[in-house]
Amino acid sequence: MKKSEASSIMASNEMIVTVVGSGTSQGVPVIACHCTVCKSDNKKDHRLRSSIHIQHNDKSIVIDTGPDFRQQMLQNQIEYLDAVLFTHEHKDHVAGLDDVRPYNFKQKKPVDIYCINRVFEALKREYIYIFDPKFKYPGIPQINQISIDKNSTIQIGNTTIKPVEVMHYKLPVLGFRIDNFAYITDAKTISGVEKEKIKDLDVLIINALRKEEHISHLNLEQAVEMINDLSPKKAYLTHISHHMGLHEEIEATLPENIKLAYDGLQIKLP
């Protein structure tokens, strides 16, 4: 989204959330798979790795830069980027970090990166040329490291963001709440304390990997139960694998207030 477009959004005091990727770690279609979902002609069954873009108070924010980050930014015409929030360090959420470089060149400044210290340590291993001074030269990504934890309050301009800790099996992962919207990915369980942070929502986006049980992700039934517990006005399911089934068939089975997310979905919140 262009900076001029962001200014008009600020004037209307509207937040726009764009689902730029709604798939799980392999994406959909999966390489070499010939299942009904992977061969579907419905664009809603084609899912890049999970990520969202948020335009709020004249700020452009991305949550996670997975392997499809470049493609997602191009497809959604996101021409300005203030900050990246990382949920955790798995490759399907961080593998596109190098592609912040065009924003550095265009904006002539670093991009702010927010994550917990454990994730920064993983990024330093994966992207040694970004962080090690001996590799420094003008063409590498320019970032500002900003460490956060589950109790932080993130302030990006006039946009206030509250992290929410969820458990991805035994790995703590961050979700994020902005006003009456929250984004949760790669969750299997959420403590009672953290659930209190995401009550009274207008919109919740939360992961639902497939119908079958999974060790580190909510399945469809568990995601619906979690949504019923949290009681948002509306919810969307993301981080979806080809094992979930066809978009239209699954969505037809869901309660009225729950939908499957899809790539390109835009949600407007006052």
For the segment 228-254, what is each residue's pLDDT rounded down to a tens digit? Answer: 999 999 999 999 999 999 999 999 999
Tokens (6 digits) for 172? 């703590």
Q: 6-10, 165-169, 177-181: lowest mean pLDDT where?
A: 6-10
Q: Which of 1-10, 44-53, 140-149 has the lowest mean pLDDT?
A: 1-10
Q: Is the distance from CB of 114 to CB of 85 less than 8 angstroms? A: yes
Asked whether residue 39 carries a pLDDT value surpassing 50, the answer given is yes
What average pLDDT does this structure show over 166-194? Answer: 98
Average confidence (pLDDT) over 179-185: 97
Structure token digits, residue 219: 């399945």
**pLDDT digits 0-9 by tens, 195-231:** 999 999 999 999 999 999 999 999 999 999 999 999 9
User: CA torsion sign, 44 to 46 to 51 to 52?
Assistant: negative
Q: Using the predicted structure, report yes or no on whether residue 85 has a pLDDT greater than 90.
A: yes
Q: What is the predicted pLDDT for the residue at 134?
A: 86
Res 136: pLDDT: 80
Task: Tell whether the model's pLDDT for residue 8 goes beyond 60.
Answer: no
Mean pLDDT confidence for 78-95 = 98
pLDDT in tens, 87-125: 999 999 999 999 999 999 999 999 999 999 999 999 999
Split into its structural domains, the chain has a count of 1
Q: Which amino acid is residue 182, in one-letter code?
A: A
Q: Are 206 and 228 in contact (CB under 8 A)?
A: no
Whether residue 162 has pLDDT greater than 50 = yes
Evaluate if residue 7 carries a pLDDT over 60: no
Structure tokens, 151: 């109790």
Closest to 64 (Cα-Cα) out of 91, 89, 85, 90: 85
Whether residue 9 has pLDDT greater than 90: no
Share of the chain above pLDDT 90, in %: 91
* 43: CATH: 3.60.15.10
The whole-number pLDDT of residue 3 equals 56
* DSSP E strands, the chain: 15-21, 51-56, 59-63, 83-85, 111-115, 143-147, 154-156, 159-168, 171-178, 181-184, 203-207, 234-238, 258-260, 266-269
pTM score of the predicted model: 0.95
Is residue 54 within 8 Å of 70, Cβ to Cβ? no
> Domain range holding 125?
3-269
pLDDT class for 138, splitting at 50, 70, 90? confident
**Residue 170 above 90 pLDDT?**
yes
> pLDDT at position 105, please?
97
